[in-house]
């Protein structure tokens, strides 16, 4: 791991720039859109993206990860994978376009037909960028991703905000997605030094499918699982509930990307490089889980504490009904600090088939629990979603330890002390919100809560987590040393 330490740090730095820049820019765009659109518009746009999101999995997952994970890869592997994904992506876009009417009928929302046809274009655009993006990640060259994000966000965000203000409603969200994806694909294609050659080898693609096949299967199932709440909410409670859920997910996704994204982005290529050295894998895994938890726990619980004020202040008063949903989903973020590192480590070691069984188990749990909960209300549905994830976490950790021989319990010893520090912060922020005078401006309440939470968590972390903080610092210092 020391031999690639500087590349890891350099790659992680650019990932941080790309991730934080993308999340900050898109969050600003999202806030402007949320203040100009109602929950039903968000819900219809979210439903229109369900099928293209799932159908795009065979061209966005599997083959790209196989190109990253494979120790020895030839140039013809890249060429063959590019043309295979380009043709597959084009065919899938056409299929979704053709079945747009049936998809709209399934949700009893005729307006979805044209929305789905526009979103189907995203599939082929993502397919064209998949291989050059995988090559850049394999080389730990993440600088172009920052430029891609900046350009895509500026163009897509400008179109989205402009059309929303002009009164185009749900169409502004769809056009923003298509424009953003098109620009990002163009930047990756023309900014990368790699160019595909007109050659194809079925044998080379078959080589990749040993790893990619199971991963595509489990990814399809995982993306389907991600869309289950939208499908059930849309079927039983309507587009309004889907819109509230979509907005409630935004803080979770934003914080996950901002605090966990830079670390998870380098996990797979890093572990893949040292996959024959178990001691280094265990060391990286142990340190990564601790770093992710130290950063993630206060972020998720901190936002849960200020959500009653922050959600209506940021997104607008029409979204106050999503406060409890946001708070419940923040607890889901705590799990992400653990399972995201676990999943990527296992993928890097070549065990892509492990997750299919877990995804099938999750589907059964989620369908049973969410179907029962959706008849009650949105908040109960969110609690059922949280329960579906938490019930499988012990099984997931056991299988990771059994298959990859990773000591998954060692880094978890930090959690009781970390949770104590984060709960102290939560209590302090909640007390501030309760004790503040009713006339206090919302912005001042939020700023005060953030400052108080940071001070309390920082003090508690120094007392309770000092050895772990020093270990995290030492890991970063070791990575920076030359071989």
> Which pLDDT value is given to residue 153?
87
User: Higher-confidence residue: 302 or 149?
Assistant: 302
Rg (alpha carbons) of the chain, rounded to whole number: 22
> Which pLDDT value is given to residue 210?
75
Three-class HEC string of 285-300: HHHHHHHHHHHHHHHH
Taking 90 as the threshold, does the pLDDT of residue 452 lie above it? yes
Q: Rounded to an integer, what distance in angstroms lies between the CA atom of residue 357 and that of residue 363? A: 10
User: Higher-confidence residue: 27 or 114?
Assistant: 114
User: Higher-confidence residue: 352 or 27?
Assistant: 27
> Which pLDDT value is given to residue 91?
96
Taking 70 as the threshold, does the pLDDT of residue 367 lie above it? yes
Taking residues 79-108, report their average pLDDT.
93
> Which pLDDT value is given to residue 11?
54
Task: Convert the pLDDT of each residue in 169-187 to its tens digit.
Answer: 899 999 999 999 999 999 9
> Which pLDDT value is given to residue 430?
95
Taking residues 121-125, report their average pLDDT.
95
Instruction: Give, in degrees to the nearest 5, the angle at Cα 164 between 161 and 168.
Output: 145
> Which pLDDT value is given to residue 13?
61
Taking residues 118-136, report their average pLDDT.
92
Q: Across all residues in the chain, what is the average pLDDT?
A: 85
Is the Cβ–Cβ distance between 325 and 382 less than 8 Å? yes
Taking residues 150-166, report their average pLDDT.
91
> Which pLDDT value is given to residue 330?
95
Instruction: Give, in degrees to the nearest 5, the angle at Cα 81 between 78 and 84.
Output: 150
Share of the chain above pLDDT 70, in %: 90
The SS3 call for residue 210 is helix
Give the helix ranges, DSSP H, for 99-238: 100-106, 112-119, 121-138, 143-165, 170-191, 202-236
Q: How confident is the model at residue 3 (pLDDT cuts 50, 70, 90)?
A: very low
> Which pLDDT value is given to residue 483?
42
Residues 28-53: b if buried by 16+ CB within 10 A, e if exposed: ebbeebbebbbbbbbbbbbbbbbbbb
Taking residues 298-326, report their average pLDDT.
92
Taking 60 as the threshold, does the pLDDT of residue 90 lie above it? yes
Q: Rounded to an integer, what distance in angstroms lies between the CA atom of residue 300 and that of residue 348? A: 27
């Amino acid at each position: 791991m020391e031999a690639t330490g500087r590349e890891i740090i350099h790659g992680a730095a650019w990932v941080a720039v790309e991730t934080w820049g993308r999340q900050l820019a898109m969050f600003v765009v999202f806030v402007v859109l949320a203040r100009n659109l109602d929950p039903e518009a968000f819900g219809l746009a979210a439903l229109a993206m369900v099928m293209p999101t799932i159908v795009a999995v065979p061209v966005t997952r599997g083959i790209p990860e196989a190109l990253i994970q494979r120790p020895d890869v030839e140039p013809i592997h890249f060429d063959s994978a590019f043309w295979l994904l380009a043709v597959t992506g084009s065919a899938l876009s056409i299929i979704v376009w053709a079945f747009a009417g049936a998809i709209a009928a399934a949700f009893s929302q005729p307006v979805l037909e044209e929305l789905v046809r526009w979103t189907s274009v995203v599939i082929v655009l993502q397919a064209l960028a998949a291989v050059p993006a995988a090559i850049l990640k394999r080389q730990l060259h993440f600088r172009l991703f920052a430029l891609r994000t900046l350009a895509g966000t500026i163009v897509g965000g400008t179109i989205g905000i402009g059309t929303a203000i002009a009164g185009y409603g749900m169409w502004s969200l769809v056009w923003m997605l298509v424009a953003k994806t098109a620009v990002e694909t163009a930047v990756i294609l023309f900014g990368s030094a790699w160019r595909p050659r007109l050659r194809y080898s079925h044998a080379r693609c078959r080589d990749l499918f040993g790893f990619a096949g199971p991963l595509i299967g489990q990814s399809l199932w995982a993306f389907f699982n991600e869309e289950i709440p939208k499908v059930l909410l849309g079927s039983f409670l309507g587009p309004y509930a889907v819109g509230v859920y979509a907005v409630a997910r935004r803080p979770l996704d934003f914080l996950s990307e901002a605090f966990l994204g830079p670390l998870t982005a380098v996990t797979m290529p890093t572990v893949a490089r040292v996959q024959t050295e178990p001691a280094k894998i265990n060391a990286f895994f142990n340190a990564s889980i601790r770093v992710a938890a130290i950063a993630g726990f206060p972020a998720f619980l901190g936002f849960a504490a200020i959500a009653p004020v922050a959600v209506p202040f940021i997104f607008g008063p029409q979204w106050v009904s999503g406060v409890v949903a946001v708070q419940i989903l923040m607890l889901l973020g705590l799990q992400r600090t653990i399972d995201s590192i676990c999943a990527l480590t296992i993928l890097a070691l070549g065990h892509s088939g492990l997750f299919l069984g877990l995804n099938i188990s999750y589907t059964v749990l989620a369908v049973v629990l969410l179907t029962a909960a959706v008849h009650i209300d949105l908040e109960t549905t969110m609690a059922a979603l949280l329960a579906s994830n938490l019930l499988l976490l012990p099984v997931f950790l056991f299988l990771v330890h059994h298959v990859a021989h990773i000591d998954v319990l060692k880094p978890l010893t930090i959690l009781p002390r970390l949770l104590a520090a984060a709960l102290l912060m939560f209590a302090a922020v909640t007390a501030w919100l309760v004790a503040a005078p009713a006339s206090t401006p919302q912005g001042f309440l939020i700023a005060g809560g953030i400052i108080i939470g940071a001070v309390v968590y920082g003090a508690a972390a120094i007392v309770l987590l000092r050895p772990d903080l020093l270990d995290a610092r030492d890991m970063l210092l070791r990575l920076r040393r030359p071989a």
